[in-house]
Structure 1
């Protein structure tokens, strides 16, 4: 399946409403984000992925990734950070690690308070709010993920396979990719039919997903040069109505 061409920002809500997902190129995402806050601290924001801790729950399955996690709440136009708490998914949505309270290292304050993250969260609340105008409050979970690939083991961005997250909406934002091949985001119907695919390549490339309607996954990543470090850094934001 050919990767989609650029979608204008003004079209994205309609595309998600019709198809259940939309892929957005960085040149469209940047001005959309900058409507909410400056991205002047993006270099600090992106560098924070170098300080992610290991995912201890995934290590038990013989797999590896690094992550941090934070919870926010949006209500009546106000965004607040909630106390640190576990991430939970039922087995219905995560057959690999479901029905477990998973505690991850918290997103550090300078990242949680950064203009770049505020821009992403402001955009997410407005964009997905346009798809669900009846919602007055959102529970927002923010995940920093680093998937590392080695010459002897491909990195698995979605080790649970093609899945839903058990929320209302999902934003996946590319932060950095270094020395990797593949890592293609795929969207599927409930019967497994491939509906679309797109490789998040440049910083700020994004996937916008209606999680209640479609499934998503990401193909494994492998090093281009086996002698050098290889990683895929993404920010995942989920919104669930209260």
Structure 2
């Protein structure tokens, strides 16, 4: 991918003053015994407004947005993501810390080869901010092109902690996703409220594990979609993982949901991506591109191999009284015990 740094005219910026930077107090220790710092500064992109690299980053993000609008997917190399997130205010300390966050994951509710946590966030384009939402269980159904043994099952994940949500690199990823996806029309999903100015973002921090007795599969479900409007996947790191592992293929919507990676039709492959470097990031218009991922293989097959990811599922809220699988677990109430809210940059829609 060519790296383009020349500037463009900037869209207007909308930011609500109530989403100003604060020092957020963090409870210590958490349930795992891990101890967090007592306070941590929050990302405030307005504080970057006097820095030339901030405007270069906005220009470059708008170019990625144009690619996403045209191709319905875009891959951003990690080297470029580090520069972009740093220009938005992410700190060097938090780039280091986010690479260790997956060490504190708990067991997954349904998959033995995975460790996981999740959390819910609201992109609120009325307040021009993103905030943490209260805990809710999670479900994906066959109706949403997700075919697996736990399709439709309500799953309860352990929650993402402040270690991640108060990390400025993570917060900058949220800002980046909102900037790329805001205002892009997509094929609508049934039973979602496209009149709302809010988006629900369910975040998964996942570690896929392969051992001599167990193959880790980032997408055991085979060819699928994620039941949302926009999926973003960001690579944090790996250990003992073979270089041919975890290749992502994107498929025409005519491909059969649920078939294995080795059963796909080559003529229906529309794009390919491979997360290999820290912060390699892929965005997909989820209801227009099915996708699949190959397994995680070990270099040394006698030892455990791991792959750590952040997965951002973003969709409009559920429309009530239409029997969507998530209707009863789609609260927009803020999280009281682990609050977080930061301002967004929102480009004016000109499409």
> Considering the TM-score relative to the shorter chain, is it more than 0.5?
yes
- Worse-matched range after superposition: 196-205 or 33-42: 33-42
Point out where structure 1 has 5 or more consecutive residues left out of the alignment.
none
User: Whole-Å Cα distance in 1 between the matches of residues 70 and 173 of structure 2?
Assistant: 23
Match of 1:241 in 2: 316
1:99 aligns with 2:152: yes
Match of 1:68 in 2: 117
Match of 1:21 in 2: 73
8 A Cα contact 2:147 2:224, kept in partner? no
Evaluate the alpha carbon distance shift between residue 20 and residue 108 of structure 1 in structure 2; reply closer, same or farther with a 3 A threshold.
same
- Worse-matched range after superposition: 201-210 or 129-138: 129-138
Match of 2:231 in 1: 170
Deviation at 1:39, TM superposition (A): 3.7
**Which residue of the other structure, out of 53, 74, 81, is the alignment partner of 2:132?**
81
Q: Decide which structure has the larger Cα Rg and report it.
A: 2
User: Whole-Å Cα distance in 2 between the matches of residues 218 and 6 of structure 1?
Assistant: 25
Match of 2:253 in 1: 190
- Worse-matched range after superposition: 12-21 or 195-204: 12-21
Deviation at 1:34, TM superposition (A): 2.6
User: Whole-Å Cα distance in 1 between the matches of residues 77 and 156 of structure 2?
Assistant: 32
Point out where structure 2 has 5 or more consecutive residues left out of the alignment.
5-59, 187-194, 256-267, 318-351
Deviations 1:164-197 (A, max 9, x none): 0111101100000221121111111112311111
Deviation at 1:137, TM superposition (A): 1.4
Match of 2:278 in 1: 203
8 A Cα contact 1:29 1:204, kept in partner? yes
1:126 aligns with 2:179: yes
Q: Calculate the TM-score normalised by the size of structure 1.
A: 0.90
8 A Cα contact 2:212 2:304, kept in partner? no
What is the DSSP-based 3-state SS (H/G/I as helix, E as strand, rest coil) of the residue aligned with 2:311?
strand
User: Whole-Å Cα distance in 1 between the matches of residues 3 and 78 of structure 2?
Assistant: 11
Deviations 1:23-79 (A, max 9, x none): 1111222222234331431222221201111112124xxxx2111000011213111
1:222 aligns with 2:297: yes
Match of 2:220 in 1: 159
What is the DSSP-based 3-state SS (H/G/I as helix, E as strand, rest coil) of the residue aligned with 2:272?
strand
**Which residue of the other structure, out of 103, 106, 109, is the alignment partner of 1:50?**
103
Runs of 4+ displaced beyond 6 Å: none
Match of 1:12 in 2: 64
